[in-house]
Structure 1
Amino acid sequence: MKKIVVGISGGSGSIYAVSLLKALQQLNIETHLVVSTMGEFVTQHECGIDLHELKKMATYFHDNKNFAAPIASGSFKVDGMVVVPCSMKTLSSIANGFTDSLLTRACDVIIKEKRKLVLVPRETPLSPIHLENMLKLSRIGVTIFPPSPGFYNHPETIEDIVINMTGRILDSLGIDNNLVKRWKGL
């Protein structure tokens, strides 16, 4: 069984995290969830989903202050990790090895173990500092995945956009899915 760590930080876009957790649950993939304080706040504000409900969407939940959690160690095997949404604070912490929370420590472990890490930053416009941090991470193999939807597939609802982005995030993690409307040419 695949194991994926899902981190939720304080950037706008918690709708993508909720969609991803639901998709991973449907695909019977073991999930390890860690949520920052602002990630919890934003998810409640944007989606009306509290931490108790988020926990139900994951196989395992780890408190962001618990550095003794299994995901804090490289000896705990996982197939990858995604931080969705990824705030610029979290992205900066990851880029600079500042592991002051379980979420950033888990990312640090994923990087040092050369496993798949996908960051879904939600910020606009991007400053030179944001771009430099993203480039730094991209150069070491981290996937930077801004949730910028395409419109070639003619989405009709916000849900269509979210589901397609969820499928693309799963693609980035190497997880087969049928959520993406694949381009078939003209």
Structure 2
Amino acid sequence: MLDRTFTPFPILTTERLTLRQLVITDEQEIFTLRSDSEINKYLDRSISNTIDDAKKFINKVNESISNNESLYWVITLNNKNTLAGTICLFSFSDEGDKCEIGYELLTNFQGQGIMNEAIEKVIDYAFSIGKVRKLEALIHRDNQSSINLLKKLSFIVSNEHNNTEPDLICYHLINPTGDIKYRNYI
């Protein structure tokens, strides 16, 4: 059974990064992230048009965390508290002990290995603390950067087909034992 108690919120750290909870003062960066056409090119979501849209999104995310429905981290560099991107776990399923992972990074932080580092840490958390057996990621077939990143992290293409969204490919990563941390078997 998945551990879906997200209080207190799990702050994760790596050598370069801190993954923390989203706060209302992140509104400008969230607005930038959710209104940038390049970042949103492969995402099926409404573009943020105002700061108020960003505030509403922040409130919605934090309500979902309070209800133990999802986890949504802000990715920051350790020497700054400024949002560089986000990463989340959502669509938890107790039946298959699985959930979905999603992520995005502001353009000026891309190509620095930040997302690779953040995903590794979230995988460690999901597999060891959250008791997740399977992580899934739905990626647009043309999003080659994301596909390459998932392959580098040992995700494989799922045999499950999504007939409602033919442009999306499902990748997954399975925790072979619930006891071994991800880094120990990659």
TM-score by length of 1: 0.33
Higher helix share: 1
Higher strand share: 2
TM-score by length of 2: 0.33
